[in-house]
Structure formats: C-alpha cells, structure tokens
Chains A and B, each alone.
Chain A
C-alpha cells in the first residue's frame, strides 16, 4: 500500500515456478520472488540469461499456471476464481524480445490495428489509435500503414510490435530486451522515445534485460535476479554503486560503470554510481585537479 492507500499495480508474493514440474526434465526457474511495482514506476528487471526474467514477465500476463505464490494486479489476486483475466490482457502490454513472435498481419497498419479491433473498438477509433501509435513511434502513418512488415528493417519491425501494444492504451508496458539487434542510432532513438512516452502517458514501465547499459538510462529502479531469486532491489544509482556485486552476476554493466571500476585501481574511492560518460569525465577531472 502507498501512503494514499492505493495498492501497487503489480505485486508478486512468494512466486516460484518450475518448468515441466513432476517430470525428469523439471527445471526450477524462479524461487520465492516477491516485489511490488507502483504506478508510474520505471523498473528494470535485470539478470543474466536463465536468471528467471522471462518467467517473471510471463507471470504478469498470467501465461503460467501458478504453482506457489501469488500475483496481484491492482490489489487483486489474479488466480482467484472468477477474476477477470481479460483485464490483464487489456491493461498489461507486453513487447516480447523477438518482434516477429507478435506480428501477425502482413501489412504494418493491419498489424497495429489487430489489437484494437479484437478489443471491439469501432473502425474509426481503431484507425485513430493506429495513426497515433505509428506516429508516436516515428513511423509516419501515411508512409508506413501500407508497407509490408517483412520489407521494413529489423529496428522498424520492433517499432511495429511496440506500436501494436501501444495501440491498446495499456497503463502498464513491459518490454523484454527492447534494444536487442538495434544499431546505436536506433537504440538512442528508441530510448528517447520510450522516456518521452512513459512521461507523457504516465505509464508504469517494466524493462527486462541482461544489460544495464540502456536500462540504467530508462529506469529509476532495478530488481536484480540471479538464478531465480531476487538478490538486489533498489534505486538505480544505489544498485550501480554496488558494481562489484553486479559484476559477479554475468550482467552487462553500463560503460561508465565499467570505466569507473577501472579507475578505482588508480583512485580507490572512485564512485561507480555513474550514468553517463559526462559524469565519469567530471569525476576524473576532479581527481586530476582540472577545474571545469
């Protein structure tokens, strides 16, 4: 509960999950994971491959039959008999890592329209949503609506997938490795766009990644998973300050943090809670006695 009494958007309580439970190939993916995510938070769920990130995401959409633990959406247990699970689909938008896994139509406009149409919106409302979503993602509606999905670049395909989810106007947006496969310019553009989108629409944003590089600029809080359990949970800078611990987890650290750890060999008190190259530069200049 927050001070004003509103429940968290999402809460996991003692969530555990084992794939193929009861068979010889059973493998435990997550164990006793608990956390709360509040409205408007920007949370990075980070960890190496196989740390349990995707299993946690799947639990949000109730894609897994819960074994142990509970998942609450807006304070309600999603496993309760009679709980309207359609609500999860309407309110939690998930963009999976491979855009191709969620693009179903051949033509960009039709693909983005799929969700709103299926949700029962009128043709006019749907058209408006498609136009707005494509424009927001820098794929101008008039230019892109009739293009073939297979004929646009990988980065554009990812944007089409995101547009399809945005068109649903979900208050919660979950992105699994949103930057994978994008070139530096594409990453920078998508990063700026997501930051603006989150702010404008007051979205609750959840980003899953094995790399903290972009997540540290996009999120204000990290939940760090290691082999299925939560090992750290706190504000981004606080987590980055514990770079030595992070480095043991096979997570990609942001470049300024990597640089800072190297500088600790020269200046033992060099801080690691740095987000940008500029911050690293100022710390260095200070220690070199150069006035800025």
Chain B
C-alpha cells in the first residue's frame, strides 16, 4: 500500500518566493489498484510523482510505500518498489538496442545473469516487443519507444508503476493501445498503476480517478462518480468527456438520462431507454 499522511511540499522553502506545491495530502492506494491522476498544469501532479519516487522528500508529513518510509535513508529501497515512465521516452532510454535498454535496470541491481535474461524476456514479451528486440531504439516510432520504456520499468519488477503523462505526445489510437496493455499488466501482475494524464478518455478506463487542484485532492472516486461532477471539473480547468457533459446538459433539459455515462455508447443506450419509456416516443 502507498500511504500519504498529511503530506506537504514547497519549492524554495524558506525563501521569499516559496512555492507551495502540495498541501496536507492524505491518500491511500492499495496494491494492484489502477488509479488515474488528473489535474491541470501546476496542480501538483508532477511533484507527487517526484515524492513517490524519492526524487524529492516531503516538507511535512510522511509517505510510506509498502511500509518503507520515503526519506533520504531509504531512497534505494523506495526505488526498488516503484518504477516510473516519463512523458518523453527519449529522457529515459539510454542504450542503443531495445533489449539492452530493458536489461539496463536489472543489470544495475546486480542480479544473476539468468534472472536478468528471464526478466528481459518476460518484459519484452508482455509489451509485444519480441520482433523488435534487437532493433536500434533510434529507429522506433514514439509509441514503440514508450513501450520500450515501460518494458524497462517492468523489468525492475516494481510493486507500483508510475506513468507520468506517458501518452501526451502519442497519437490517440497509439495511446489507447498502450493504456490497454498497462491495464492487462496490472491485472496479471497485481501491480498498482498510477497514471498521470490530461486525457479524460484515458482516465475513464481506470478503477479510481484522483483529481488534483492547487496542491490538493478535490475529488477521489470511481470515474462514473467523478465525471458526474461536471461543474466542479470545469471550474478547475479540466475537460469532461463529451458524453458525460452532454448527459449533464440533456438532464438539465429534463431528458431522463439514467445511469453512469462515461462514453458515447453509454449515452446512446440511455437515450434509447429514455425514448422507449417516453409516452410520445
């Protein structure tokens, strides 16, 4: 479990231009949970990622990952439990060939050779990279590179995979395939996933959506519940999936839209039901 206990963090602490980035955050994430974290730029998402990967440490409060406190003394223990994938794969791919990059992490853990081979093999096959394992990374598309970055993160056998806007530079169809793979992995490996994103269409695919604004969590619930709160999301500068927003507008017009509306198929079904039950239809 990831536990954040009254966590605050400020940049440039003690200086006149101090920037509070996280304020009194309480958050618990169970192992194996699929969580999307949304919020506009400056809401504290990236700071949260840096705290969970022991790049920064809380100014106040405490974070524990699987019981291990996130502090300077335990930074390496923390980093064995969480792996992170960044927005731009070029920031984290360092070797020339795909399989060498995937092997880089386990090699640096000093694992025995056959275990390294085993981890590389399974990560590569989970991401569907078997056919391009010996290719040069520079020859790959951005979507393929991001898969290699995820395979590298997986080869560390983390308890939690943290995805820091890994899809924002990818075309939507490629991004959707990537999220679908991550979901499968999480279910298979019982690995927790924290996915930071701006895309509401990705967020609806997760079990739980945490909405951040100005360093605080303002909504934390399953997607159907979060995306009912159309006005609140708009207020903090976030998009709402079109189907959820339309459902909101149609309800305001007195059209009985029942149930959870997360995508246009849900909306079509709800409309169909409304048409069949209405006396004039």
- Choose from B143, B238, B243 the contact partner of A184 (Cβ within 8 Å): B238
New contact pairs (7) apart from A50-B141, A277-B242, A277-B245, CB-CB < 8 Å: A180-B169, A181-B87, A250-B171, A252-B172, A262-B264, A262-B265, A284-B271
Min Cβ gap B237→A in Å is: 4
List B contacts of A255 (CB < 8 A): 241-242
A49 at the interface (CB under 8 A from B): yes
List B contacts of A256 (CB < 8 A): 242
Q: Which residue of chain B lies nearest to A155 when distances are taken between CB atoms in the complex? A: B41
In Å, the complex CA distance between A181 and B170 comes to 9
Residue contact B255 to A280, C-beta cutoff 8 Å: no
Residue contact A49 to B41, C-beta cutoff 8 Å: no
List A contacts of B41 (CB < 8 A): 153, 155, 183, 185-186
- Interface residues, chain A, CB within 8 Å of chain B? 48-50, 153-155, 180-186, 210-211, 250, 252, 255-256, 258-259, 262-263, 265-266, 277, 280-281, 284-285, 288-290
Residue contact B246 to A185, C-beta cutoff 8 Å: no
Those of B31-82 within 8 Å (CB) of chain A: 40-42
B249 at the interface (CB under 8 A from A): yes
In Å, the complex CA distance between A123 and B155 comes to 54
Q: Which residue of chain B lies nearest to A50 when distances are taken between CB atoms in the complex? A: B141
Residue contact B237 to A184, C-beta cutoff 8 Å: yes
List B contacts of A265 (CB < 8 A): 268
- Choose from B141, B243, B246, B280 the contact partner of A49 (Cβ within 8 Å): B141
Sample 21 A-B pairs with CB under 8 A, ordered by A number.
A49-B143, A153-B41, A153-B42, A181-B87, A182-B198, A184-B237, A184-B239, A185-B40, A185-B41, A210-B171, A210-B172, A250-B173, A262-B264, A262-B265, A262-B267, A263-B264, A280-B242, A281-B246, A281-B250, A284-B246, A288-B255
Residue contact A183 to B198, C-beta cutoff 8 Å: yes
List A contacts of B169 (CB < 8 A): 180-181
Min Cβ gap B242→A in Å is: 4
In Å, the complex CA distance between A285 and B252 comes to 12
List A contacts of B265 (CB < 8 A): 262
What 0/1 pattern do residues 158 to 199 of B give for CB contact below 8 A with A?
000000010011011110000000000000000000000010
Min Cβ gap A214→B in Å is: 12
Min Cβ gap B58→A in Å is: 23
Residue contact A280 to B246, C-beta cutoff 8 Å: yes
In Å, the complex CA distance between A256 and B242 comes to 7
Min Cβ gap A166→B in Å is: 22
B275 at the interface (CB under 8 A from A): yes
Min Cβ gap B195→A in Å is: 15
Residue contact A262 to B268, C-beta cutoff 8 Å: yes
In Å, the complex CA distance between A184 and B168 comes to 11
Most buried by B among A153, A183, A252, A263: A183
Those of B106-128 within 8 Å (CB) of chain A: none
Most buried by A among B40, B87, B173, B265: B173
List A contacts of B12 (CB < 8 A): none
Q: A258-B264, A265-B268 are contacts. A180–B168 as well, Cβ < 8 Å?
A: yes
B130 at the interface (CB under 8 A from A): no
In Å, the complex CA distance between A211 and B171 comes to 7
Q: Which residue of chain B lies nearest to A290 when distances are taken between CB atoms in the complex? A: B253
In Å, the complex CA distance between A27 and B42 comes to 42
